[in-house]
Structure 1
Amino acid sequence: MIKKLLPALNLRFLILLLAFSAALSTLVGSFYSIYQVQKEQLTSHTLKSNLAYAQKLASATDNFLKAALQQLEYSAKIIEQLPNDVQLLNKEAIRLNLQTDSFNSVVINIHGVISATSPHLEKIIDKPINSPGALEALKEKRPLISKPYMSAAGNLIVFISQPLFDSKGNYLGYIGGSLYLKEKNILNALLEQHYYEGGSYLYVVSSNKRILYHPEANRIGSLVTNNTVVDAVLNGEKGTSKISNSQNKAMLAGYAPVASSGWGIVAQRPLKATLSSLDILTIEVVKRTIPIALITFVFIGLFAHFIARPLKRLADTANTLNDPVSLEKLKAVKSWYFESEKLKLAMLKGVSILQMQIGQLRHDAQTDPLTGTHNRRSLNRLLEQLISQQTPLAILEIDIDFFKRVNDTFGHDKGDETLKSLTDIIKKLSRKDDIVARIGGEEFVLVLPNENSESAFKIAERLREIVESTKIDTIGYITVSIGIATWPEHGTDIDQVYKCADKALYYAKEHGRNRCVIADVN
């Protein structure tokens, strides 16, 4: 696969790839940087807008609650003058309820029992009421805004109350107004003015983390948990935050507390909706950039072609430097710029040297440097040729016995001389078509074309006897062990024949050395 791809990686392609990569990375980097900057600006603007809106609504809600307390305080002063005038109490309750939409209902408690209500509820007149808001008002004896609770009538309410005192400062009771959180009132109307398009919305939470207002009515009254924004705003903090809502959507939230009640207002908008306009803008910019980019790449392609053409011709000629006509081909290349001309001259100068060295390199690549015999690579190539020609052959694997002892006793230099001496003996014994190779430290191979096991054994024995009787300077006498295998008798491929010869050589070593062994036929 890699070889198939390599021809495509010419200079022109690389120039185009480099130019395209540089342009594309610059373009993408620019788009990414611009997108990130715009994203941060949009996000920051939305967070600030939501904070400003939350503060505005918190202020408006606070003003509404203060106004409601002022209304109750005004009525309380009237009632405190004639607390036992039932007609006055009823009139004041009705006026307070109907004059504005501040309250969904009004109740007046004198001496622990209900004295007047609006709307009028006869069944609770002159009876005590034990709702959380009423009990808290009786206990605290001060202006209060209760936490949300469920009334006896099944309404989720917030109770706002003002204490009543006589002229001597004795506590008489309270006048209070209820806000039904799931019904229409001024507070709901105030909060519903928020802009809800694109998934943005606001909600209000009480000091005990219950939702007082939410655009989804079924959420009103539910408890909010594990929400850092709610925790912060109920601690009296104001600010902005990136959060995930109950549906795991990324939101940009601004929050502010309502000072008089301990409530918190949270205004938030989906991050996706905030960035939708930026995504559209980015797509438009990309569309308008593509034509200019394409024109630029066409010009780059033309320049790349003219730059690469002389170098390509030089490269093509370099593939045939061993060709006698390569000098003429090099001279014909038109190099129109400095670098290609210098490269052409350098190639012309090197061709003659290279052609001289090619022959030597080929010889070195196929020859064992110490003994001058074939090496393993050359041996394998020659064996493949013989087998492809269906020429029977015998392999003699020859190994010097106790060669390590020679190196340890006389040194590696004498060991090398021993290897050369053995090589000379093998070469003198071998015929014209025989192949002599050194394939390991002290291991040689003699290939005998057109020989069978019996004839090869005779040659091996003759070689073994000659080696045994030949004295080497300083070293003295050495012996060899020889394993013999033939093709195709011992295997259908050369690796099998090698393994058989190895086994025969191993057997010779294990059974006394200085002997020749023919491999068994499987």
Structure 2
Amino acid sequence: MAFLVRSNLRQLIVILALLSTLVAVINMFIASAKVQKQALIDNTLLSNEAYASKLADSTQAFLESALLELAYSAKNIAQNWPQKRYLNQETQRLSKQNYAFNSVVLSDANGVVLASSDNAIELHGQILTTPGPLQALKERKPLISQPYESSMDNLLVLISSPIFHENGTYLGYIGGSIYLKEKNILSRLLGEHYHHDGSYIYVVDNKKRLLYHPDKERLGSAVHTNPLLDLALSGGTGAKAIVNSKGIEMLSGYAYIPAAGWGVVSQRPADATLNAHEGLMQKILLHSLPINLTMLSLIWLCAWLISSPLRQLAANAKNMRQRTTIQRVERIQAWYFEANELKHAFLHGLQNVHDHVGQLRQDVRTDPLTGLNNRRALERILEKCDITQTFFSAITLDIDHFKHVNDTFGHDVGDIVLKELAFLMRSTSRDQDFCIRLGGEEFLILLPSCSLEVAADIAERLRLDVEKHEFTTVGKLTISLGVASWPQHANSTTAVLKIADEMLYAAKQGGRNQVRTAPLPKID
């Protein structure tokens, strides 16, 4: 502490400024790093979700197209049954037309292969007993089979369509096989998405078996430890950060393929995403360095300027009893806490007087229960409008059957009702309007520079707000309102309030819970 007392003020200012700047720069850098890191993670998750969804949609479209193509072929086969030449031609066409299928077979109702593509010619005449053909024969409907091992040790999916004679007799099925370990259109859609940064996609069936994966050796194996697969097979799309079976944190997006009941997962290692973050923060640091050096230079320059108010205050301290000192102190620009405190020490007494006088004036003009303006404030408002010739509209209102509220629930509840009504008045009126409590349950809203039509709209809006409002303990209440404008309805400002009161009385007489607007005087 002794060192600080003996220290030069300018030195203390510079040290304080340097420390503040350093803390601000470090805080900004840390906050920026956190925000940038989270933004990269969120963008990667969103990107992977969109990519998985796109692949799922593309695969869904391919499978639907394959089913439609087989259904069309089945219809033509039924019309040419059992012409061997046509059956062979049709299976060859389906196999070679667009390479959607690795092989095509045509079976009769007993499972005997009547025709097949060239790469499955050895199946001709055989009875297929693998799961896909058996499922097609059993269900006799267009279907995409569960993945299974064929008799030739291929992991495949059979897409088939039943063949029915025009009389309804089941003739067999036409099926296209997709070998999951070989090239075809589906493998191009799903299997070729590996990137150098470790990003890749994989596909699982509803038994969580891998159908497509960068590691071909894993195809057909089941994955039960990945919590993301339950989400991917649940029928929706989304994104989530997970730790895979190798302990690597991955940012994954997932989607569902309804036609096959498969799930698609697109993922990228979190480290690959955050590697870009490190380079980005280095760039931010380098780009901010010139600005920070400039700021430090400005701090040295400002030190002299900051010490100037204290020098002026110290010089005036000897003459604080002089009346002119107050004026000189008021002109001093206090730039920081100490200087500002010293300046206020000179002005404290006078400022307190002004504050107390202002508070007394405020108390005199404010209703203590509702916080609204009172009659005394109304007098000054009307006087000002009269002097400045500012036209205004007035809305007088009171609560219907308020005496019943006080008699039934007591005056304490009645006071709560008045406070709630005051709140509704403030909410409905404009910022420049004056809400006034005249006494009891009688209120007034004075709207400067407001036409009669707008005032009537505001009054109606307030009436509806009150009608909808559930008052504490009491429940529903209504109000009646009267509207008039100055100088349209009277030459005197006080006379306008009387006209508004007459309209309020007319609203009461007319059944309450309504707005009555003073009619405009007729022009002779």
When normalised by structure 2's length, the TM-score is: 0.53
Equivalent residue for 2:126? 127
The 8 Å contact of residues 191 and 212 in structure 2, kept in 1 or not, is answered as no
Equivalent residue for 2:70? 72
What secondary structure does 1:199 align onto? coil
Matches of 1:303 and 1:79 in 2, distance apart?
A: 93
1:233 and 2:232 matched: yes
Matches of 1:14 and 1:217 in 2, distance apart?
A: 69
Matches of 2:294 and 2:120 in 1, distance apart?
A: 83
Q: Deviations over 1:176-233 (max 9, x none)?
A: 1111111100011123564724222211111111111122322322212222221111
Equivalent residue for 2:42? 44
Q: Which of residues 106, 119, 139 is equivalent to 2:104?
A: 106
Cα offset, 1:286, TM superposition: 1.4
Matches of 2:99 and 2:257 in 1, distance apart?
A: 20
Equivalent residue for 2:261? 262
Matches of 1:27 and 1:178 in 2, distance apart?
A: 63
1:339-350 correspondence to structure 2 within 5 Å: none
Residue type of the alignment partner of 2:183: K
Residue type of the alignment partner of 1:85: Q
1:390-469 correspondence to structure 2 within 5 Å: none
Residue type of the alignment partner of 2:228: V
Q: Deviations over 1:133-166 (max 9, x none)?
A: 1111111111111121111111111111111112
1:307-322 correspondence to structure 2 within 5 Å: none
1:229-308 correspondence to structure 2 within 5 Å: 229-290=228-289, 292-293=291-292
More off after superposition, 221-230 vs 189-198: 189-198
The 8 Å contact of residues 52 and 253 in structure 2, kept in 1 or not, is answered as yes
Equivalent residue for 2:356? none
1:169 and 2:168 matched: yes
Change (3 A) 1:121 1:181: closer
Matches of 1:89 and 1:294 in 2, distance apart?
A: 83
Q: Deviations over 1:352-383 (max 9, x none)?
A: xxxxxxxxxxxxxxxxxxxxxxxxxxxxxxxx
Equivalent residue for 2:88? 90
Residue type of the alignment partner of 2:258: A
Change (3 A) 1:101 1:17: farther
Change (3 A) 1:33 1:263: same
Matches of 1:32 and 1:219 in 2, distance apart?
A: 42
Cα offset, 1:42, TM superposition: 2.4
Matches of 1:123 and 1:285 in 2, distance apart?
A: 66
Change (3 A) 1:261 1:38: same
Change (3 A) 1:226 1:118: same
Matches of 1:203 and 1:175 in 2, distance apart?
A: 29
Equivalent residue for 1:143? 142
Residue type of the alignment partner of 2:41: T
Instruction: Quote the sequence identity (%).
Output: 45
Cα offset, 1:290, TM superposition: 3.8
Residue type of the alignment partner of 2:106: I
Change (3 A) 1:289 1:155: same
What secondary structure does 2:197 align onto? helix
Matches of 2:118 and 2:133 in 1, distance apart?
A: 17
Q: Which runs of 5+ in 2 are unaligned?
A: 308-337, 339-524
What secondary structure does 2:220 align onto? coil
Matches of 1:276 and 1:96 in 2, distance apart?
A: 48
Matches of 1:17 and 1:140 in 2, distance apart?
A: 85
Matches of 2:273 and 2:31 in 1, distance apart?
A: 18
Equivalent residue for 1:218? 217
Q: Which runs of 5+ in 1 are unaligned?
A: 1-5, 309-338, 340-522
The 8 Å contact of residues 132 and 158 in structure 2, kept in 1 or not, is answered as yes
Larger radius of gyration: 1
Residue type of the alignment partner of 2:236: E
The 8 Å contact of residues 103 and 120 in structure 2, kept in 1 or not, is answered as no
What secondary structure does 2:173 align onto? strand
Matches of 2:142 and 2:242 in 1, distance apart?
A: 36
Matches of 2:7 and 2:163 in 1, distance apart?
A: 96
Matches of 1:15 and 1:135 in 2, distance apart?
A: 88
The 8 Å contact of residues 147 and 208 in structure 1, kept in 2 or not, is answered as no
Q: Deviations over 1:465-515 (max 9, x none)?
A: xxxxxxxxxxxxxxxxxxxxxxxxxxxxxxxxxxxxxxxxxxxxxxxxxxx
What secondary structure does 1:183 align onto? coil
Cα offset, 1:297, TM superposition: 5.3
Change (3 A) 1:120 1:252: closer
Matches of 1:224 and 1:120 in 2, distance apart?
A: 32
Q: Deviations over 1:103-146 (max 9, x none)?
A: 00011111321111112545432221111111111111111111
Matches of 1:120 and 1:297 in 2, distance apart?
A: 78
Q: Deviations over 1:420-448 (max 9, x none)?
A: xxxxxxxxxxxxxxxxxxxxxxxxxxxxx
Residue type of the alignment partner of 1:273: A
Matches of 1:18 and 1:173 in 2, distance apart?
A: 90
1:28 and 2:26 matched: yes
The 8 Å contact of residues 102 and 185 in structure 1, kept in 2 or not, is answered as yes
